[in-house]
Amino acid sequence: MKSKTRIVIADDHAVVRAGLRTLIDAQTDMQVVGEAGDASSAVEQVRQLKPDIVVLDITMAGGGGLKAQQNISAAMPETKILFLSMHSDPAFVRAAIAAGAAGYINKKAVHTELLNALRTVRMGKRYLDPTASEGLFPLSHKQAILSARESETLRLLASGYTNQEIAARLFVSVKTVETYRARIMVKLEAKTRAEIVRYAMNAGLLDSELD
């Protein structure tokens, strides 16, 4: 018998969590194994429960969903992140995908779309809510998605950090940072630092606090 997809719901509204749990638990191929009301609790739930997917509110309390995503990916890289948000602005979608999320869906989406998103993500594919992805990534159809570590390097570069400072913050060598930087330039088809900064601003990456 095929095992059910194990899901953690992370949203700072109890009513939203309850509704999602009822919907998901009614399915024969998935189940909710945990809930979290803030970002730090979401990370802890993932570490303890090791779910297949986390449904994560991108603007939740406790540090925000993007920071939680980074911590979750570092602790449990096999756990997939499906961002659930009230925001349809492409900047939020860009930030989520640049951070390595497997999917993004608007809270206004019908229930069938959420279930479809969960099943799509579980199969290893990316899901983007059509209403939230219009105008996404206008730079080029050749643009590749950045990895979580490349996204973090991009954010630090755009914030003015040197390669040496980034290496110290990420606990990697300067040569590794240079490799990340080269990959970013190729993937974004960027030729100057100004273009990197512009992309980071459009993606909303500079809105995240730098610890």
- Quick: pLDDT tens for 42-89: 999 999 999 999 999 988 877 778 888 888 888 888 999 999 888 766
How do the domains of the chain map onto residue ranges? 5-128, 148-206
Distance in angstroms (rounded) separating the CA atoms of residues 178 and 174? 6
Q: What is the pLDDT of residue 211?
A: 47
The answer to whether domain 5-128 has CATH 3.40.50.2300 is yes
SS (H, E, C) the chain: CCCCEEEEEECCCHHHHHHHHHHHHCCCCEEEEEEECCHHHHHHHHHHHCCCEEEEECCCCCCCHHHHHHHHHHHCCCCEEEEEECCCCHHHHHHHHHCCCCEEEECCCCHHHHHHHHHHHHCCCCEECCCCCCCCCCCCCCCCCCCHHHHHHHHHHHCCCCHHHHHHHHCCCHHHHHHHHHHHHHHHCCCCHHHHHHHHHHHCHHHCCCC
Whether pTM exceeds 0.95 = no
Q: Who's near 27: CB < 8 A, 6+ residues apart?
A: 115
| pLDDT tens, N- to C-terminus, the chain (211 residues) | 568 999 999 998 899 999 999 999 999 999 999 999 998 999 999 999 999 999 999 888 777 788 888 888 888 889 999 998 887 666 677 777 777 788 888 888 778 889 999 999 999 888 877 665 555 555 443 445 677 788 888 888 888 889 999 999 988 899 999 998 888 887 777 777 777 777 777 666 665 444 4
Q: What is the pLDDT of residue 141?
A: 38
CATH T-level assignment (fold) for domain 148-206: Arc Repressor Mutant, subunit A (1.10.10)
Q: What is the pLDDT of residue 127?
A: 84
Q: What is the pLDDT of residue 20?
A: 94
